[in-house]
Amino acid sequence: MPPSLPLDPPARHTPFGADGNGLPELTLSEEDIQAAMRHLSGYVDISNSDFQAIYHLAHRQAIERLFAGVRAGRLMRTGIAPLAPNQSLAEAARALADQGLKGLPVVDTEGKVIGMLTETDCLRELGADILPELLARLIEAAGPFTHECYATRVGAAMTAPAVTVDESACFGTMIGAFHRHPGRGMPVVDAQGKLLGLLLRKDFLAAFRMEELL
């Protein structure tokens, strides 16, 4: 009967990109390796460092095999109507509501992504941290508030530059990009930086059921 395993501290993740493919990898402690080797029958002539190296290579191979065909172009939402920098926040709010999104890419006249406007950007520009605070301002001072919504341009409120990925971005690249910004959506662009679609965090998570990675 194999010996019981000791209770070790929770496994840690290595920094993103540490394994060369941008994917998180569990760090094996000396205790983890020794406990695993006790479950093997017979004598195994392998050092702990060799075990670590084999594990690292096997992990990388398994991830590449599982997600080899995953690309941003397959997961993105198309038909997105982007914003222009000269639009007002009032127009942007209507566009967000009509498309049922929490953020929209902002593009120039050539269709190149120059920023991202989110609900958080709108709240910040209008001097509020949360939606109830914004509603309170609207109730208290409808006139000045309405003027501010129409006077403020998207270009002044957007977050720039936007974090983007190209349509060929792989699984690890998408994870790394999502870690670089707190938003719920990320523009997918072509080689010239022109908008192709929008990759939503919730769609990415739903596709792989890997909420713990983000």
As a whole number, mean pLDDT of residues 122-131 equals 72
Other beta carbons less than 10 A from residue 87's beta carbon: 18
Region 57-69 average pLDDT:
77
Mean pLDDT value across residues 127-136 = 59
Where are the domains positioned within the chain? 1-66, 72-213
**Average pLDDT score over residue span 189-209:** 91
pLDDT, average across residues 20-33: 70
- CA-CA distance, 168 to 68, in Å (whole number)? 11
Which one-letter amino acid corresponds to residue 107? V
Residue 135 φ/ψ, nearest 5 degrees:
-65, -40
Distance CA 94, CA 101 (A): 10
Topology at the third CATH level for domain 72-213 = CBS-domain (3.10.580)
| Amino acid identity, position 146 | T
CB atoms within 10 A of CB 38: 11
Give the pLDDT mean for 96-124: 92
Question: pTM to 2 decimals?
Answer: 0.68
Angstrom distance (rounded) from CA 177 to CA 169: 10
The separation between the first and the last C-alpha atoms of the chain, rounded to the nearest angstrom, is 39
Between residues 187 and 47, the one the model is more confident about: 187
The mean per-residue pLDDT over the stretch 18-34 comes to: 67
DSSP 153: B
DSSP code, position 112: B
Task: Report the chain's mean pLDDT, rounded to a whole number.
Answer: 79
63 and 171 Cβ atoms separated by less than 8 Å: yes
Q: Is the separation of the CB atoms in 44 and 37 below 8 Å? A: yes
Q: Return the structure tokens found at 149.
A: 């919504």
